[in-house]
Amino acid sequence: MPTVALYRAPTAAADVDGIADWLRARLDGAGTDGVEVEVRDRFPRVHRTADLAERFAEARVRSPRERETGNAMFGVVRYEERALDDPERAGGVLYDGVALQRALNAALPADERDLDRLHVAVLDRALGTWGDHDGRWHKRVNVLGQPALVSVPGLYEAPARPEAYYEAQQKHALLSGDAPPREVLESEVDGEFLVEDDPRTTEALAGYVLQAVHCWLTGEGFCAVEGCRLSNPHRQPGVVAAQLRDPEFCDDHADRYG
């Protein structure tokens, strides 16, 4: 039976069991109730290989405008080992999403790499992809493929904030000579955007998981219609509109998942 294996994230803000329930309902509505959705523990705990920490170290982004990645120094690899064991230690690092995807794919057992099974790893790591058009890394919420990667911090960090956020940031910098803490700006700026540990995290991430499943089932990428949960907005107000507002889907995808 075709199966979607969802892997838990260490953060309580992302309820993967809740995402799985939502996904089952959408797949039932699509007439694809032959797809089983199962929830597993964190991916690095279920599929841990001897070189996984080193592969994480090799996927580290060095600089926003430097294409080459990786830092295999002993101390960095040891950091990644500790972060895999204790996710609370991780943070502040951007990873090449495609390289990390290859590393996790290599960690999958041979009998779980068949085309009838999609693995979706919900991660506590910030992921990026390189932009050839502008020569810099761009943070992403998800990376489609096998396994599909969904980044919890990416939900907060990848899409740009409302213009008022950056205007307030510049104003504070002019007055004080330094940018204020993120929490200060978030409390001062009105607008539609998600913040760290946002109570809407699970609901928003569900749409990004469905994007990965939809790509696996149909071969289609992101939807071009703004406001559809299968779209890929580059700004936070667009994410809120697509993932947290009705209607959930464009007309075409409502026929399948609505």
SS3 at position 38: strand
Q: Is 180 exposed, middle or buried (0-12, 13-18, 19+ CB in 10 A)?
A: middle
182: part of which helix (H) or strand (E)? helix 182-188
Q: Which domains does the chain have, with CATH numbers?
A: 3-257 (3.40.390.10)
How many other CB atoms are found less than 10 A from the CB of residue 67? Answer: 14
Residues 233, 230, 26, 155, CA torsion sign: negative
**Under 8 Å between Cβ of 60 and 95:** yes
Q: Which of 155, 204, 145 is nearest to 22 (CA)?
A: 204
Mean pLDDT by groups of 10 residues along the chain of 258 residues: 94 93 88 83 95 96 94 91 85 94 97 95 96 95 98 93 64 60 56 84 98 96 97 94 96 93
- What is the predicted pLDDT for the residue at 1? 82
- Distance (Å, whole) CA 206 – CA 229: 9
